[in-house]
Structures are given as structure tokens and as C-alpha cells.
Amino acid sequence: MRDIDRPRGGRPLDSDASQRILRATLEIVAENGLGKTTIEAIARRAGVGRPTVYRRWPDIAPLISDAVDMAFAQVSETTEETDDVAAALETLLHKKITVLTTTLAGELIRQLAPHFAADDALGKALSQAHQHQQASLAPIMERAQREDRLNLPSVALATEAVLGIIYLRLLTALPPLHPEQAADLAALAISPRSESTPT
């Protein structure tokens, strides 16, 4: 996400106010949808004046984009490498599913999904967020490929398959994945370690 607290000129902006504005944006979009989200409502929820918002974002589109970026950042965390690559993937997927099913991030994505194709700013935000998701999984998938344990022909396909299942369940009438299903999801991409598998 761009540095919203470093304007081109003048004094640096209050980062605490910026975070409150972004949080308020997430909450209002998650609660009411994009159509009912306004700068006025965001400023009121964040406890700031409208000029405070406009000093950081010229209109609502880039503000929504940065809020989306912040929400996705919660599900782009990497995890420490463990002895077993399948366990590393399970741990990371458990974190992603937990965030998407227990925080505002999942509801925000559901509310905004119908607008991504029609809104260039949101579409760009989604593309960047998806790249972050891929990047967080890639090192694990690459390690599985080196160990000859990747169940799909390429790292890219394995990454897309795992993310696709998560977001299919999030954005359709199907029940969302439960964090405890992370092990089953990891097993789709990476085979169990055998006695001959290198560590």
C-alpha cells in the first residue's frame, strides 16, 4: 500500500488518523456495501473532519482501494519455514482462512466482489492483492516442487488451485471453509512426506 502519511509537501500526516479512516472504511463497506459508503460517513465513524480524509485521498475510489489492500494484507502473511513443507502450508492456510472467516476482511471482499470488474481502481486493488496472495504461497509451493511433492504440474497452478477453493467458498452460497480444513486443502497441493523425501 502506498505511503498515505507522506504528502508531497508540508508536514507528515497523522498516521493514527489514517489508520482510523481505513478501519472506518472497512467497517462501513462490510456493514452497508459500497453503494452506501460515503466520505461523510467514513469521516464521522473515524472521528475526523472531511478535510482530513481529502488530504489523504482525493475521492472515495483510492480510499476504498487502500482499504482493500489493508484487508488483504491480513491474509498475506508468510509463515516460518518448518521441517515439513506440508505442515508449513497448512499453518499458512489456517491463518488465511481464520482471517477471512472471523474478521472484516471476508465480509469486505463479499461486499465488493460484484464491483471489481466494473471499477478500475478496485480491479487494480484486487489484482495487487491477488499477487500478494500468490507471493505468500509461492515459496512453500516451490519447496514442495524441489522435494518432488507438488501434486499439480506447476507452482502457479498449485497456488491458484488453493486460493481458488478458498475464495469460491467465500464468495458463493457454499459454506466458507473452516480453519480446521486447512490440512485437507494443503493435502490437495502437497503430498505427504515419505521415508525417501529429503528434509
Give the global pTM: 0.78
pLDDT in tens, 124-161: 777 877 888 888 899 999 999 999 999 999 999 999 99
**Residue 109: pLDDT band by 50, 70, 90 thresholds?**
confident
DSSP assignment string, 131-171: HHHHHHHHHHHHHHHHTT-BSSS-HHHHHHHHHHHHHHHHH
**What number of residues does the chain have?**
199
Q: Which pLDDT score, from 0 to 100, does residue 140 have?
A: 95
Q: Which pLDDT score, from 0 to 100, does residue 110 have?
A: 85
Contact 140, 84 (CB under 8 A): no
Q: Which pLDDT score, from 0 to 100, does residue 116 have?
A: 78
All residues at 6 or more sequence positions from 167 whose CB lies less than 8 Å from its CB, including other chains: 109
pLDDT in tens, 67-100: 887 887 766 666 666 789 999 999 999 998 998 8
Contact 116, 167 (CB under 8 A): no
Alpha-carbon span 185 to 94, nearest angstrom: 10
Q: Which pLDDT score, from 0 to 100, does residue 8 have?
A: 47
- What letter does residue 150 receive in the DSSP assignment? B
Burial zone of 139 (CB within 10 Å; 0-12 exposed, 13-18 middle, 19+ buried)? middle
pLDDT in tens, 2-57: 555 555 455 556 789 999 999 999 999 989 888 889 999 999 999 999 999 999 99
CA dihedral (94, 95, 97, 102) positive or negative: positive
Q: Which pLDDT score, from 0 to 100, does residue 56 have?
A: 92
Q: Is the pLDDT of residue 180 over 80?
A: yes
- 104-112 vs 85-102: helix crossing angle, rounded to 10: 70
